[in-house]
Amino acid sequence: MPFELKVALRYFRSGGMQTVLTILGVSVGISVSIFIASLIGGVQAGLIERIIGSLPHITLEPRESVPKPLGDILTPQKSQIYLSRTEKSGLVEEKISDWKSLVGMLDREPGITAVSPSVAGPGFVIAGTSVQPITFHGIEPLRANRITDLNKSMREGTYDVSGTNCVIGVSLAKELGIRLKDKLRTRSGRGRETIFTVTGIFDVGIEEINLRSFYISLTNAQHLLNLVGYINGIELKTAEIFKANDIADHLGAMTNLKVKSWMRQQKEFLSAIQAQTGSNLLIRFFMMLAVAFGIASVLVVSVVQKSREIGILKSMGARTRSVTLIFVIQGLLTGLIGSLVGSIIGSALCWALAQIPGDNLTKPGSLFPMKLEAIYIVQSVVSAMLVGVFASLAPARRAAKLDPVEVIRYG
């Protein structure tokens, strides 16, 4: 065993109560740090799940077509009057052609976990005298489910859009007094009509969707909206939600589509999340600072207590580096052991609090949605060790500078 480690370990052991209390101090700091990280992480994960979970992370849409000039009537040189004709906006259907190969390409793109082509467009449900504006959503259910899992939100019936089946929201059903198996006459903005059978009624908890969204098969939507062979939207899920912007930018450069990332659509939510992350880091930073002061102050005392022995070691020819290392190792050990104990206490605390039941409205959950991740423990242990080393530097330098003549004369 290296000399410095041997001496450091022996001092550590002979420190007794002093060592135990320092380690406990570090442990408390680390356990609080892990606890806070898990709590904020849990709250954040819950919020993200609730807000972003049922939304696509990235959407691809056709670019809005800019009306094209159709040609000048008069050449400007010959007349002061300038007339020109421009295409009427809205004449050109915005759509994505060749979408099957695009979907295939997106399927293979790394970082993307779900790809769902869709056709959406305006229409009406006509029931007797009442006419309800709706939005048709033509989807491929297997793919669409991986963006928004309607199965989880089904109130009645099944999630089935095959043939002329449709799935509607509770608000629309209530508005029109509709029950399962009822038939609904619909008309699209293009004037095409189709009759659908209601096979399922969902409740996603968002009024706008419950009232307006009308899910049918992709093929039916293409027919209704005059988009046979085309789609007008692709929804994506990314493996890491905070990489959505990067992936969106990458896709924007690859395709000539308009690419939207949730991070840019939900700016306020994102900044709320970032504020939480920031306060989490701030709390943990100050926790570490407290740990650093604790370790440093104990080591300063230890250097004074051990000054006579340091003098002896120096009289034997101990190197300055060795004397420094003895105290740096003590700082490191305090950080290491303290953070290991703290990790155990912190994890136990997280586990215990997660057992307290709470009413999470719809689903049963715990009052504290703890999300303990291994990375928090790794981070805490590594940073505590670094902090231990850092905190030991000043006391260690003091020890290294001790003049053996002084301590031997007055020792």
Partner 1 sequence: MADASPMVIMEGVGKVYGNKIQTRVLWDINFRVERGEFAAIVGPSGSGKSTLLNLIGALDKPSEGEVRISGESLGTLDDEGLARLRRQYIGFIFQFHYLLPDFTALENVLMPFYVAHSAPTKREVEEAKELMERVGLKDRINNRATDLSGGQQQRVAIARALAGRKPLILADEPTGNLDTQTGSEIFRTMRDFNEQDGTTFLLVTHDPRFAEQTDRVISVVDGRIAEDRAVLHPSQ
Number of shown-chain residues binding partner 1 (CB under 8 A)? 27
Q: Whose Cβ is closer to partner 1: residue 6's or residue 68's?
A: 6
| Under rule CB under 8 A, residue 11 binds partner 1 | yes
| Under rule CB under 8 A, residue 409 binds partner 1 | yes
First to last CA, the chain: 29
Sign of the Cα pseudo-torsion (326, 332, 335, 340, in order): negative
Task: Choose which of 315, 348, 367, 375 interacts with partner 1 (CB under 8 A).
Answer: 315
| Under rule CB under 8 A, residue 326 binds partner 1 | no
Q: Which stretch binds partner 1 (CB under 8 A): 104-112, 193-201, 216-224, 315-323?
A: 315-323
Residue at 72: amino acid letter: D
Rg of the Cα atoms in the chain: 33
| Under rule CB under 8 A, residue 63 binds partner 1 | no
| Under rule CB under 8 A, residue 14 binds partner 1 | yes
Task: Choose which of 187, 190, 308, 397 interacts with partner 1 (CB under 8 A).
Answer: 308
Q: Whose Cβ is closer to partner 1: residue 7's or residue 225's?
A: 7
Q: Whose Cβ is closer to partner 1: residue 16's or residue 364's?
A: 16
Q: How far apart are CA 269 and CA 248, in angstroms?
A: 18
To the nearest whole angstrom, how small is the minimum distance from the Cβ of residue 106 to partner 1?
A: 60
Task: Choose which of 223, 237, 314, 398 interacts with partner 1 (CB under 8 A).
Answer: 314
Q: Which residues contact 23 (CB under 8 A, 6 or more apart)?
A: 334, 337, 338, 341
Q: How far apart are CA 113 and CA 116, in angstroms?
A: 10
To the nearest whole angstrom, how small is the minimum distance from the Cβ of residue 299 to partner 1?
A: 16
Task: Choose which of 17, 316, 361, 374 interacts with partner 1 (CB under 8 A).
Answer: 316
Residue at 380: amino acid letter: S
Tokens (6 digits) for 51: 């807000």
Q: How far apart are CA 254 and CA 247, in angstroms?
A: 10
| Under rule CB under 8 A, residue 398 binds partner 1 | no
Q: Could you tell me which of 118, 8, 122 has the C-alpha nearest to residue 392?
A: 8
Q: How far apart are CA 212 and CA 208, in angstroms?
A: 6
Contact 11, 330 (CB under 8 A): yes
Q: Which stretch binds partner 1 (CB under 8 A): 4-12, 85-93, 110-118, 125-133?
A: 4-12
To the nearest whole angstrom, how small is the minimum distance from the Cβ of residue 3 to partner 1?
A: 4
Q: Which stretch binds partner 1 (CB under 8 A): 93-101, 149-157, 186-194, 403-411?
A: 403-411
Q: How far apart are CA 188 and CA 121, in angstroms?
A: 8
- Helix 267-305 vs helix 374-401: crossing angle, to nearest 10: 30
| Under rule CB under 8 A, residue 250 binds partner 1 | no
Site residues for partner 1, 128-157, by CB under 8 A, read none
Q: How far apart are CA 167 and CA 174, in angstroms?
A: 14
Task: Choose which of 3, 82, 286, 293 interacts with partner 1 (CB under 8 A).
Answer: 3
Q: Which residues would be at the binding site for partner 1 (CB under 8 A)?
A: 1-3, 6-7, 10-11, 13-14, 308-309, 311-320, 322, 404-405, 408-409, 411
